[in-house]
Chains A and B, each alone.
Chain A
Amino acid sequence: MGTTMHLLSFSDIWRSMGPEVIVIGGAFLIMLIELLLPQNKRHIVPWLAVIDVIIATFLIISRFGGGILVYSSADYVVDGFSSLFKILILLSTFFVILLAIVEQRKHKLPYEYSYLLLFASGGAMIITSGIDLVLLYVGLELLSIATYILVALNRKDGRSAEGGLKYLIVGSIASATILYGLSFLYGVAGSTNLGQIAVALQNAWTSDSAILFVSFGLILAGIAVKISVVPFHLWTPDVFEGAPTPVTAYLAVISKAAVLAFMLRILIFAFGQKYQDWWLLIAWLSVITMVVGNFGALAQGNVKRLLAYSSIGQVGYLIMPFAAIGQSQNVSNMWQALSSMMFYLFAYALMTIGAFAVLSKVAQTRGSEQVDAFAGLYKRNPWLAVMMTIFLLSLAGLPLTGGFFGKFMIFLVAFNAGQYWLGVVLFATSAVAFYYYFGILKAMFVLEPVGDEEPIRAGGLLQVIVGLCALGTLYLGLIPGPFLTVLNNVHWFG
């Protein structure tokens, strides 16, 4: 670990936290602008947020591959791993804001979402880089609190506030649980810095193993709630249903990605020493998550809830590499596990956001989020239907899509770790998933439109979102090579 100590100065902050500064500072700025602008001009506010995100993204990309930077008493680290996470987060935020712009035209969402999304993403970015418990927790809470508000944003729909409250209660309990667990970690290690904790824990496992395992369990459970691992998943469908669709996409993608980064830091860094002891716990959580997520979606008629369960299942896939790391033979295996998770996360983000984008359009025109609303979509708008097909096939894991390739990589990881059964469960559950994904496919292509047969006119912006997501999904499936090369050359810190 190339630890270089620096004193805290603004140039250091800029060099280390530049993107975060842009995102969060931009959020404050936009908040002010929104206040100052007259009502009829406010529609430019989201676009400012979009620009902000783009600037931050370019900053990250321009600095990408510059080696590891560790700043501020080793509390903040900028490495390839965090940069990739940040790119993912910002990319998804970009799509979500655009989607929100589309959605707003119909639902008149308040413009607060533009900066709230930025705050949340800022928090998420801090999580990916922070290696101090305080920073991690602050980032997590920044993300969480901003998303509580986002879920409740649609004031006209009672379900929105209800979803927000539900999310707040469950999320706060989870936060408290995590915090309680972190406090024990601090107590044992005597430091909030993860590096020092890792050093301190080397000896502490023998003397304080009980308290450490309690801490571990509490943190894991809290994280599990946040990323909706079974049996901590029950809030997910309700909150997904209540939240405005762009926010749902945000919850499904960015919240989970950020908390996965949190999980990676804490679990592998702090508790890594006992990995071979507790990987099986993760493996089982992964298995039941895959099973319950995919079976839960079977009987769902509401596409949003269906996608919620589907995302639960996807989380099962995503945490499988964590389990596999516990059995990896050597360091290269671990890298492969991490890159496969990263790969799948990108594919997951694109296909999920794309699916939610199509859903938002269909739900708007039909006034219903049921599967039936998709009936005859191919006749009403072939473009949307074909795009949706790409997303669904990717979610189902059919070849030539990012979803397939990601699953394939995760499968390889499981194989590599000698955990064939994990791989088998992965594919067996995705075969179950065929049932409901193809159910939507059937509705779109097979069934006749019910009632309204008018063509759906999709706006240009929506088409851009959907098209880009589909393009990305196909790109990851058809030409995964370049991205894999990037992943292979990334310098991992954790």
Chain B
Amino acid sequence: MEDVLLLIVVIPLIAGLFVLAMPARSHGVIRAIGLIGALIPACFALAAYLAFDQRQINLQFPFTTTWMSIANAYNSLTLHINLGFGVDGISMPLVMLVGVVSTLTMIRSFKVTERVKSHYFWLLFLTMGMYGVFAASGIFTFFFFLESTLVAGYLLINIWGGEKRHYAATKFLIYRGLASVVLLAGLIGLAYVYASTAQAASNSVFIPNAPNFLTFSISQLLTEAQLIHIPAASQDVLFLVFLLAVLMEEAFVPFHTWLPDTHEQSDTGTNMMIGGALMKIGLYVMLRFAVSMLPLGLAHYATWLAVLGLVSILYGAIVAIASKDWRRLIAFSSISHMGLVLLAIGSMQEIGIQGAVFMLVSSGLLTALLFFTVGAQADRTGTYKIENLGGLSKSLPVISGVMLVAALGSVGLPGLSGFISEFSLFVGGFAAFPTLSALASLSMILAAFYLLWAMQRTTFGPANQALPDMVDADVIEYVPMVILVALVVLLGVFPGVLGDVVHGTAQAIAARIGG
């Protein structure tokens, strides 16, 4: 089990290289390789998930290899950079999420007929990047994989997207590119401030594994975060840097406009990947670095987080009402949901942290499912415009039914994964910000409004005469739908399967932030 994370990250890349080696016309082989290349890591991820020791709060399945050192990187300290992987209760579920989403995306992308080879290569590359981001145990490793998602996402949007794909891809690139450089600045600053603090505190506090103080290892930083407190002023500055990065990365209002455009222009597979897994990175960063390592900064800006969260919640929900395109609607809906996570993180409650992970996983699954069904509809009707659809339940009962499940899950219906996420987040929110949370709870009504209204206009009512004759879901489409629905129900009915993994880590974080 030691190298399982390495395998998880590397296999998609190897599969990608195999894809490149195939002749461009052998679509079947390429698709098979793509599927296998995503399925095997997903199975490994599942194995790791099952073997995960929930009582241990350190990073598990550690894999580390020394890479290089920079002398005098900080005063006379040498910076040793390791490449490594490791997961804890926050990243393990997200690794699993990547496994699920990527595998199903591969299946869905069987439908892609244009430039199949490149498509699968970049999908696999993106898969590798997302695994790496969540599994990384070093700042450098993390950043490398973050940037690789940028390249892959850019090309996926740009080649297989809709009419304005170049514009959307550029927006995606610039926003996420800016976010990543801001993030890098924050990460390096974090390591430096920890180094200087650790050095200063080394006389009074014993810090294990820190002969050199300067470290880029996430697990070491997490350990140090429990032992020493970096100066409040530095925490504030660094927290703001991270916050800015996260706002752009996670498309919070007012840095959100790239997300609807991206989703509107991407093809279904890409949307599943972006909406299902890529869009969890920002808040993961928030939890992993800003919350875990900058507790005083968090305490200082907690109210700001809550307010920003609230703005995104309401803004996203209201604009979603007026959205004319399903994909934009889903994008705004996810902005709204992620705002809730921000609000809950601001509450600094353990349950809020736990709910955050729940929401990341849940919204990942539901967003992927929504994009899948919406895409399946569009494959048949040729349009994503809500006003052009109608009465689809008649001709596409299965797809419409699954879509309804996804919509209800997003609305937060109990029994599906969305409920327990929303509930935990709101408990956290109300504990700290009753008024803001009360306002935020309006989004529960608004969500029901925009999703069910859109459902009513597309799947209910008399069939739109302009639509062509349609055949309901085929076997290939059943697989992702069934798996996603099953997972959504599983998480809704037995949230313990996720909660047990998250619990220990959430507790540790909460202890650190005094929640």
User: Which residues of chain A have a CB within 8 Å of any CB of chain B?
Assistant: 329-330, 332-333, 335-336, 393, 398-400, 409, 411-412, 415-416, 420, 423-424, 427-428, 430-432, 434-435, 438, 441-442, 445-446, 479-481, 484, 488
Contact B177 A431 (CB under 8 A): yes
Q: A393-B151, A438-B154, A442-B158 are in contact. Are A416 and B75 (CB under 8 A)?
A: yes
Which listed segment binds A: B184-192, B353-361, B426-434? B184-192
Q: A336-B73, A412-B73 are in contact. Are A434 and B185 (CB under 8 A)?
A: no
Q: Tell me, rounded to whole Å, the shortest Cβ–Cβ distance linking B207 to chain A.
A: 21
- Measured in the bound complex, the distance between the Cα atoms of B79 and A332 in whole Å is 13
Q: A411-B188, A412-B188, A442-B158 are in contact. Are A434 and B173 (CB under 8 A)?
A: yes
Near A by CB (< 8 A), chain B positions 148-189 give 148, 150-151, 154-155, 158-159, 166, 169-170, 173-174, 177-178, 180-182, 184-185, 188-189
Contact B173 A330 (CB under 8 A): no
Query: 6 closest A-B pairs (Cβ-Cβ)?
Result: A481-B68, A427-B181, A399-B144, A332-B72, A336-B72, A434-B177
Chain B residues whose C-beta falls within 8 Å of the C-beta of A488 in the assembled complex = 71-72
Q: A400-B144, A484-B68 are in contact. Are A445 and B173 (CB under 8 A)?
A: no
- Measured in the bound complex, the distance between the Cα atoms of B159 and A430 in whole Å is 24
Chain B residues whose C-beta falls within 8 Å of the C-beta of A428 in the assembled complex = 178, 181-182
Candidates A329, A393, A398, A446; contact of B75 at CB < 8 Å: A329
Q: Does B76 contact A (CB under 8 A)?
A: yes
Chain A residues whose C-beta falls within 8 Å of the C-beta of B71 in the assembled complex = 332, 336, 484, 488
CB closest residue in chain B, given A336: B72
User: Which residues of chain B have a CB within 8 Å of any CB of chain A?
Assistant: 67-76, 79, 118, 140, 143-144, 147-148, 150-151, 154-155, 158-159, 166, 169-170, 173-174, 177-178, 180-182, 184-185, 188-189, 192
A330-B75, A446-B158, A481-B69 provided; 13 other pairs, C-beta below 8 A?
Answer: A333-B75, A336-B70, A393-B151, A412-B73, A423-B185, A424-B182, A427-B182, A431-B174, A431-B178, A435-B170, A441-B154, A442-B158, A445-B159
Q: A332-B75, A333-B75, A435-B173 are in contact. Are A415 and B192 (CB under 8 A)?
A: yes
Q: Tell me, rounded to whole Å, the shortest Cβ–Cβ distance linking A302 to chain B.
A: 20
Q: A427-B181, A435-B173, A446-B159 are in contact. Are A416 and B144 (CB under 8 A)?
A: no
Chain B interface mostly: helix
Q: Tell me, rounded to whole Å, the shortest Cβ–Cβ distance linking A84 to chain B.
A: 16
Candidates A329, A398, A415, A481; contact of B67 at CB < 8 Å: A481
Contact B70 A412 (CB under 8 A): yes
Chain A residues whose C-beta falls within 8 Å of the C-beta of B155 in the assembled complex = 441, 445-446
Q: Please name 30 pairs of A and B residues whose Cβ atoms are closer than 8 Å in the assembled complex, sorted by A.
A: A332-B71, A332-B72, A332-B76, A333-B72, A336-B71, A399-B140, A399-B143, A400-B144, A409-B70, A412-B70, A412-B79, A415-B74, A415-B188, A416-B73, A420-B185, A424-B185, A427-B184, A427-B185, A428-B182, A431-B180, A432-B174, A434-B173, A434-B177, A435-B170, A441-B154, A446-B155, A446-B166, A481-B68, A484-B68, A488-B72
Contact B147 A398 (CB under 8 A): yes
Chain B residues whose C-beta falls within 8 Å of the C-beta of A481 in the assembled complex = 67-69
CB closest residue in chain B, given A405: B68
How many cross-chain pairs have Cβ atoms below 8 Å apart between A and B?
Answer: 95
- Measured in the bound complex, the distance between the Cα atoms of B185 and A398 in whole Å is 14
Contact A435 B74 (CB under 8 A): no
- Measured in the bound complex, the distance between the Cα atoms of B98 and A415 in whole Å is 35
Q: Tell me, rounded to whole Å, the shortest Cβ–Cβ distance linking A409 to chain B.
A: 7
- Measured in the bound complex, the distance between the Cα atoms of B76 and A329 in whole Å is 10
Counting chain A CB atoms within 10 Å of each CB, which of B72, B166, B178, B188 scores highest? B72
Q: Tell me, rounded to whole Å, the shortest Cβ–Cβ distance linking B5 to chain A.
A: 18
Q: Tell me, rounded to whole Å, the shortest Cβ–Cβ distance linking B186 to chain A.
A: 10
Counting chain A CB atoms within 10 Å of each CB, which of B147, B159, B169, B181 scores highest? B181
- Measured in the bound complex, the distance between the Cα atoms of B82 and A15 in whole Å is 42
Chain B residues whose C-beta falls within 8 Å of the C-beta of A420 in the assembled complex = 185, 189
- Measured in the bound complex, the distance between the Cα atoms of B68 and A481 in whole Å is 5
Chain B residues whose C-beta falls within 8 Å of the C-beta of A484 in the assembled complex = 68-71
Chain A residues whose C-beta falls within 8 Å of the C-beta of B151 in the assembled complex = 393, 398, 441
Contact A415 B189 (CB under 8 A): yes
- Measured in the bound complex, the distance between the Cα atoms of B190 and A120 in whole Å is 45
Q: Tell me, rounded to whole Å, the shortest Cβ–Cβ distance linking B471 to chain A.
A: 32
Q: Tell me, rounded to whole Å, the shortest Cβ–Cβ distance linking B177 to chain A.
A: 4
Q: Tell me, rounded to whole Å, the shortest Cβ–Cβ distance linking A315 to chain B.
A: 19
CB closest residue in chain A, given B192: A415
CB closest residue in chain A, given B75: A329
- Measured in the bound complex, the distance between the Cα atoms of B57 and A177 in whole Å is 65
Chain B residues whose C-beta falls within 8 Å of the C-beta of A479 in the assembled complex = 68
CB closest residue in chain B, given A433: B177
CB closest residue in chain B, given A488: B71
- Measured in the bound complex, the distance between the Cα atoms of B184 and A427 in whole Å is 9
Contact A445 B68 (CB under 8 A): no
Chain A residues whose C-beta falls within 8 Å of the C-beta of B173 in the assembled complex = 434-435, 438
- Measured in the bound complex, the distance between the Cα atoms of B181 and A172 in whole Å is 40
CB closest residue in chain A, given B183: A427
Q: Tell me, rounded to whole Å, the shortest Cβ–Cβ distance linking B410 to chain A.
A: 32
- Measured in the bound complex, the distance between the Cα atoms of B166 and A336 in whole Å is 41
Chain A residues whose C-beta falls within 8 Å of the C-beta of B148 in the assembled complex = 399
Counting chain B CB atoms within 10 Å of each CB, which of A399, A400, A409, A445 scores highest? A399
Contact A330 B188 (CB under 8 A): no
Contact A431 B181 (CB under 8 A): yes
Chain B residues whose C-beta falls within 8 Å of the C-beta of A336 in the assembled complex = 70-73
- Measured in the bound complex, the distance between the Cα atoms of B85 and A309 in whole Å is 39
Chain A residues whose C-beta falls within 8 Å of the C-beta of B79 in the assembled complex = 412
Candidates B74, B154, B159, B182; contact of A416 at CB < 8 Å: B74
- Measured in the bound complex, the distance between the Cα atoms of B176 and A434 in whole Å is 10
Contact B68 A434 (CB under 8 A): no
Chain B residues whose C-beta falls within 8 Å of the C-beta of A335 in the assembled complex = 72
Chain B residues whose C-beta falls within 8 Å of the C-beta of A423 in the assembled complex = 185, 188
Chain B residues whose C-beta falls within 8 Å of the C-beta of A398 in the assembled complex = 147, 150-151
CB closest residue in chain A, given B180: A431
Q: A399-B144, A420-B189, A427-B181 are in contact. Are A442 and B169 (CB under 8 A)?
A: yes
Chain B residues whose C-beta falls within 8 Å of the C-beta of A435 in the assembled complex = 170, 173-174
- Measured in the bound complex, the distance between the Cα atoms of B178 and A434 in whole Å is 9
CB closest residue in chain B, given A334: B72
- Measured in the bound complex, the distance between the Cα atoms of B169 and A446 in whole Å is 11
Chain A residues whose C-beta falls within 8 Å of the C-beta of B159 in the assembled complex = 445-446
Chain A residues whose C-beta falls within 8 Å of the C-beta of B72 in the assembled complex = 332-333, 335-336, 488
Chain A residues whose C-beta falls within 8 Å of the C-beta of B180 in the assembled complex = 431
Chain B residues whose C-beta falls within 8 Å of the C-beta of A427 in the assembled complex = 181-182, 184-185
Candidates A409, A441, A445; contact of B118 at CB < 8 Å: A445
Chain B residues whose C-beta falls within 8 Å of the C-beta of A424 in the assembled complex = 182, 185
Contact B76 A330 (CB under 8 A): yes
Q: A423-B185, A424-B185 are in contact. Are A442 and B144 (CB under 8 A)?
A: no
Contact A434 B69 (CB under 8 A): no
Chain A residues whose C-beta falls within 8 Å of the C-beta of B150 in the assembled complex = 398
Candidates B69, B70, B147; contact of A399 at CB < 8 Å: B147
- Measured in the bound complex, the distance between the Cα atoms of B75 and A79 in whole Å is 24
Chain A residues whose C-beta falls within 8 Å of the C-beta of B70 in the assembled complex = 336, 409, 412, 484
- Measured in the bound complex, the distance between the Cα atoms of B118 and A446 in whole Å is 10
Counting chain B CB atoms within 10 Å of each CB, which of A329, A423, A431 scores highest? A431
CB closest residue in chain B, given A397: B181
Chain B residues whose C-beta falls within 8 Å of the C-beta of A411 in the assembled complex = 184-185, 188
Q: Tell me, rounded to whole Å, the shortest Cβ–Cβ distance linking A22 to chain B.
A: 33
- Measured in the bound complex, the distance between the Cα atoms of B74 and A286 in whole Å is 22
Q: Tell me, rounded to whole Å, the shortest Cβ–Cβ distance linking A40 to chain B.
A: 44
Q: Tell me, rounded to whole Å, the shortest Cβ–Cβ distance linking B116 to chain A.
A: 14
Q: Tell me, rounded to whole Å, the shortest Cβ–Cβ distance linking B291 to chain A.
A: 22
Q: Tell me, rounded to whole Å, the shortest Cβ–Cβ distance linking A452 to chain B.
A: 20
Chain A residues whose C-beta falls within 8 Å of the C-beta of B178 in the assembled complex = 428, 431
CB closest residue in chain B, given A413: B73
- Measured in the bound complex, the distance between the Cα atoms of B169 and A432 in whole Å is 14
- Measured in the bound complex, the distance between the Cα atoms of B68 and A485 in whole Å is 9
Chain A residues whose C-beta falls within 8 Å of the C-beta of B185 in the assembled complex = 411, 420, 423-424, 427
Chain A residues whose C-beta falls within 8 Å of the C-beta of B181 in the assembled complex = 427-428, 430-431
